[in-house]
Amino acid sequence: MGARSASATHWKGEWAGAATHRRKGYALTGPATALFENTEPIDEAGIRGQRLTRLRRGMVAAELPALVVVDPVNLRFATGSRNMQVWTMHNVCRYAFVAAEGPLVLFDLPSARHLTRGLETIDEVRPSLAFDYMMVGPRGEEMARRWAAEMAALLRAHGGGSRRLALDRADTLMVQALAAEGIEVVDGKPVVERARAIKSREEIRAFKRSLETCEAAIAVLRERVVPGMREEEALALLIGEAIARGGEYPETRLMTTGPRTNPWFQESGDRVIEAGDLLAFDTDMIGPGGFYNDISRSWVVGNKQPSDRQRRLYELSRRQLEHNIALLRPGMAFLDYAARALPLPEPYLENRYADVAHGCGLGVEYPLIWYPEDAEWGAYDGHFEADMIVCVESYIGETGGREGVKLEQPVWITEAGPVVLAEHPLEDGYG
């Protein structure tokens, strides 16, 4: 959550259509019903506190006395604050020193220190030091030395005598300056990712409310996209409707039509949409509360029924999606899940999606499940746990084919089984 809460209208969401994809046991029942029928305001302070507690427990378990958080998304997770999220992703000017047993000190732009006033996670706010060349020119090494000296002083005061300091992300000057201070730099990304992976129940409730704003935007797109519209116009409609409901920014531009849907990962362009085209998109929107609203849908544009070829693509994509969702259980090993996922027929294998599934929260998170065919690029093992949110992906596009179908569902893993969190329906009559 940021320094300013989303309005009640934004959190409530506006889409209430029937979820026709609620099949094969994915309906919002049992613990999901009780959780999501709660209409009380989101306890943002409670979420902030739970996140910081998980992070610090992970630091203690990893024997990390202190962590410097630089990545803006991780900074939001640790502190609950945000400030120019996209801009600060490529300009290091905000960071926080988090002691496992001690204070959390946020370093922010002097002109923006008022944004975090009142956040209970932050014990102290200090002006940040920049060392990026754009900001300080040839004084980068000097500024990095000053930065490292301040981090070293905090570590001496709150690190219990340790010289180990974890960083979730680092520029060259940061590492060099810390080494000159006699500090051992440790990779802090694993402890942050694992803390982000398991959600509290209030966090899951907030995620669902955030997701509803994106689904409302999809519903508007479904009503208004027409032949003659350019892909970029359709994308602008989706993004604009999401932001109007409290969303923040898109991370990608993955909305294409007709022959530009295959292969996947082409970005929106100026192609004019024709009647009978498949439109496929991945929302990839940061919604209210900073949650990653990650839903993929595909449908035929215009008053036309899908062709037999389009039906076959959609049917296989939906089958892959539902098969792989049904497998999800706490305790299942990642590599076992990948091995048991629906195998793709040979014509579709080359154009497969980048992953079978991935964690989801404030962004794409741990774990990422690779296809068995891509194991050499970094596949790893581990186990799914209860209260993870995982996005299950499907892309079906034949090698050399004209079109492809992209579908994706965010899924809450519970002890009782998988719960699909997106309620915007898949297409009826497509397979």
Nearest 10 degrees: CA dihedral of 188, 194, 200, 202?
Answer: 60
409 assigned to some structural domain: yes
Tens-place pLDDT, residues 176-222: 999 999 999 999 999 999 999 999 999 999 999 999 999 999 999 99
Q: Does the pLDDT of residue 1 top 60, yes or no?
A: no
Q: Does the pLDDT of residue 87 top 50, yes or no?
A: yes
Mean pLDDT of the chain: 92
Name the DSSP class of 153: H
Distance (Å, rounded) from C-alpha 64 to C-alpha 59?
Answer: 5
Regarding whether 232 and 156 lie in a shared domain, the answer is: no
The amino acid occupying position 63 is E
Tens-place pLDDT, residues 208-258: 999 999 999 999 999 999 999 999 999 999 999 999 999 999 999 999 999
CB 256 within 8 A of CB 281: yes
DSSP per-residue string spanning 186-197: EE-HHHHHHHHH
Q: How many CB atoms lie within 10 A of CB 344?
A: 19
Regarding whether 152 and 254 lie in a shared domain, the answer is: no
Domains in the chain, number: 2
30 assigned to some structural domain: no
Residue 244: which CATH number? 3.90.230.10
Q: Which of 131, 71, 135 is nearest to 98 (CA)?
A: 71
Confidence of residue 27 (pLDDT cuts 50, 70, 90): low
Buried b (16+ CB within 10 A) or exposed e, 102-122: bebbbbbbeebbebbeebebb
Instruction: Quote the pTM value.
Output: 0.92
Q: Does the pLDDT of residue 12 top 80, yes or no?
A: no
Confidence of residue 28 (pLDDT cuts 50, 70, 90): low
266 assigned to some structural domain: yes
Cross-strand partners of 69: 96
Residue 74: which CATH number? 3.40.350.10
Domain extent at residue 320: 198-420
Regarding whether 274 and 392 lie in a shared domain, the answer is: yes
| Residue ranges of E strands in 34-103 | 66-69, 95-99
Residue 31 has a pLDDT of: 63
Instruction: Please give the average per-residue pLDDT across 284-293, as a whole number.
Output: 97
387 assigned to some structural domain: yes
19 assigned to some structural domain: no
Q: Does the pLDDT of residue 7 top 70, yes or no?
A: no
CA-based torsion, 259, 265, 267, 268: positive or negative: positive
Asked which of 7-16, 47-56, 190-199, 297-306 is least confident by mean pLDDT, the reply is 7-16
Q: Does the pLDDT of residue 394 top 70, yes or no?
A: yes
Residue 291 has a pLDDT of: 98
Residue whose pair of structure tokens reads 């040979």 in the numeric block: 346
Q: Which of 283, 314, 300, 281 is nearest to 215 (CA)?
A: 283
Regarding whether 192 and 206 lie in a shared domain, the answer is: no
Regarding whether 80 and 219 lie in a shared domain, the answer is: no
Regarding whether 191 and 205 lie in a shared domain, the answer is: no
